[in-house]
Structure 1
Amino acid sequence: MPNSNDMKAHAARPALVSALADHIAGVIRQAVAARGAATLVLSGGTTPADLFAVLDGMDLPWDKVSLTLSDERWVDLDDPASNEAMVRRTLATALAKGARLVGLKSPGAAAADGLEATHGRVATLDRPFDLVLLGMGEDGHTASFFPGGEGLEQALSGNGGLAVAGVVPAIPGPARITLTRPVLLDSRAILLLITGETKRRVLDQALAPGPVEVLPVRSVLHQDLVPVSIWWAP
C-alpha cells in the first residue's frame, strides 16, 4: 500500500536546506541520546552538498555518528563524480571530529568485482539506520535504481543476500553501486529531498500508482514499512 507521505514544501532552497539541517541534527541528537550512536545514509548531489556544509558547522556528537551513501558511481575518490569525495569535502569538520564514513567504492574494474568487499563494510553499520536521505532524478530514479538499468531488478529485490548491487544505467556515464531496496528500507525514517518544478511534476506522477520499473522512486514511496517525508523547494 502507498506510504502516507509527509510533504514539507519550502519557498526557496536556502530555507529548505536550513530546515532540513535542523531536522537531521535533531535526529542525530535523539539517536545518540537514546542508543549512544547514530547511523545515517546520505545522498549525492548539489543540494545535499549544501546541506552537508551546513551540518558540518553544527555542534553535534560527531564521534558517535556513522555515515554511508545510498549509492555511488564506480569511480575512484579523485574523480569529480565521486559522491564519497563530495561527502569528505563538505563534512570535513565532522570527519575530523570522529564521524565514521563507510564508502561504497571498492577495488575492481567493475562494480561486480567489489560487491562482496563493499557488503562487508556496510554490514558493520548498525541497523536499522536512523535516517536515509535520498534524492530523485528527472527520470524518476532514486539511489541507483535507474529505469531500464541493467541490474535494476537485483537492486530492488536484494535477492542474493548482499547489501549492495551493481547497476549500469541506461544513460551515458559510469556504472553504479547502490544499497538495495531492502537495506534502504531497514531504517527508522526516509527523507526524499527534491528541488525544482520539473522534479515536482515527476514526483506527482510517482505518487500515483504505476509500474516501479518506469519510475523506480515508487519503490520507496509505495511501501508501508518506513515513514517517508518529502522535502521540496522550487
Structure 2
Amino acid sequence: MTTYRIVRASNPQDLSYRASQTISRYINLVLGQRDRCRIALSGGSTPTKTYSLLGQEHIPWDRVDVVLGDERWVSTDDKSSNARMLHNTLFSAGPASMAVFHSVPTVELMNADASARALAKMITQLCSSNPPVFDIMLLGLGEDGHTASLFPGTAAPLVMDRWTTVSHSKGVDRITLTAPVLSAARQVIFLVSGANKQVALKRLLDPQELSKRTPARLVQPANDVLIIADQDATAGF
C-alpha cells in the first residue's frame, strides 16, 4: 500500500519555497550517487513560482535531464504550452539554464499519437530502462483528481502497456506519461495548493478511494509519496 508523507506549508509562497528546496536537495542527493539526475516536471499554475526559485539554486544543472510529465499538443510559443512556462521560469536566466531540457515533440509531428510515440522512445533511451525510471517525478493534483493528463472518465488512466499516451481535455489533445512511468519514479512529489483541492487531496489519501474517480491514486511507487500542500489545501485535516 502506498504511504503518503505530508509537508504542510503555511501559504502558497511557503509551499513554493519548501518545494524548491526539497527538489534541490533530492537532485544533489542523486548526483552524489550517480552521474546524472533525471527529473519529470508538471505543468499548470501551481509550480510556476517553485520553478522560478528552483532555477536560482546553484547545483550541477549540466548533469540534470528535465522532461515534462505531460504537454498540450500546441506549439511551444502557445501561451498554454508547458514548455513555454518552463522556459519563462526554471530556465529563464539563472543556473538552471544549464540543464538539458528534453521537450515533448508536438505540432512538428503529424498528430498527437506520433508525439506520444516519440516521447516514449525518447524517455526509454534517456532512462535506459523499461519502464523508464525518473529520479524525481513532480506531479500536480486537479480538482477532479487527475494528475499529469490522466483525467477521470477518459481512457488515458487505463493505459498500462505503454509509457505514454494521448489524452484530451478542454478541446486540446495532450501527451502524457502513463501510470506505470509515474509509479516507477524513485521519488514522487505532489504539489497541492488552494482550498479547491481539499476534496481531491482527501480522496488521494483515502485507501478506499477508487482510481476510476481519482486517477492520482494510480501513482503507486515503491517509496513514500511526498505531498507538499499549503494550509488552504489541508484545512480540516
Q: Verify same fold: TM over 0.5.
A: yes
- Residue identity (%): 31
Contact 1:73 1:176 in 2 (8 A): yes
State which of 155, 175, 178 in structure 2 corresponds to 1:177.
175
Unaligned runs of 5+ in 1: none
The amino acid of 2:149's aligned partner reads S
Letter in 1 for 2:103: G
In structure 2, distance between residues paired with 1:175 and 1:24? 29
Structure 2: gaps of 5 or more residues: 233-237
3-state SS of paired residue (1:125): helix
Equivalent in the alignment of 1:144: 149
Deviations 1:138-193 (A, max 9, x none): 11100111011243322xx1x1xx42111123xx2311110111111121110010
Cα separation, partners in 2 of 1:186 and 1:14, compared to 1, 3 Å: same
1:1-234 to 2 correspondences below 5 Å: 1=1, 3-92=2-91, 93-94=94-95, 96-97=97-98, 99-106=99-106, 107-126=108-127, 127-154=132-159, 157=160, 159=161, 162-169=162-169, 172-208=170-206, 209-220=208-219, 223=220, 225-233=222-230, 234=232
SS in structure 2 at match of 1:225? coil
Q: How many residues align structurally?
A: 223
**What are the Cα deviations for residues 60-92 of structure 1, in whole angstroms up to 9, with x where unaligned?**
100000010111111110111110111122122
C-alpha separation in 2, matches of 1:22 and 1:115 = 31
Residue matched to 2:235: none
User: How many Å separate the matches in 1 of 2:100 and 2:58?
Assistant: 16
Counterpart of 2:189 in structure 1: which amino acid?
L
Kept in 2: contact 1:133–1:193 (CA 8 A): yes
Indicate the SS of the match to 2:126.
coil
Residue-by-residue CA offset, 1:12-41 (whole Å, 9 max, x unaligned): 111111111111111111111111211111
> How far did residue 47 of structure 1 move?
2.3
SS in 2 for 1:124: helix
User: Are residues 102 and 206 of structure 1, via their aligned partners in 2, closer, same or farther at CA, if it must alter by over 3 Å?
Assistant: same
For residues 191 and 7 of structure 1, the distance between their equivalents in structure 2, rounded to whole angstroms, comes to 10
TM-score, L = length of structure 2: 0.88
Supply the distance in 2 between the matched residues of 1:201 and 1:183 (Cα, whole angstroms).
Answer: 25
Given the superposition, is the C-alpha separation of residues 224 and 18 from structure 1 closer, same or farther in structure 2, using an over 3 Å criterion? closer
Q: After the TM superposition, which of the residue ranges 224-233 and 25-34 deviates more from structure 2?
A: 224-233
Q: Residue 132 of structure 1 aligns to a residue in which SS?
A: strand
Question: Cα distance 1:217–1:151, how it changes in 2: closer, same or farther (>3 A)?
Answer: closer
* Whole-Å separation in 2 of the counterparts to 1:219 and 1:185: 8
The alpha carbon displacement at 1:224 in A equals 5.4
User: Using the alignment, how far apart are the partners of 1:138 and 1:75 within structure 2?
Assistant: 23
What TM-score comes out, normalization by structure 1 length? 0.89
Could you tell me how far 1:95 is from its partner in structure 2? Answer: 5.1
CA gap 1:151/1:4 in 2 versus in 1, 3 angstroms: closer
Decide whether aligned partners of structure 1 residues 56 and 121 sit closer, same or farther in structure 2, where only a CA change above 3 A counts. same
In 1, the alpha carbon distance for the partners of 2:10 and 2:176 equals 31
CA RMSD in angstroms, aligned pairs only: 1.6
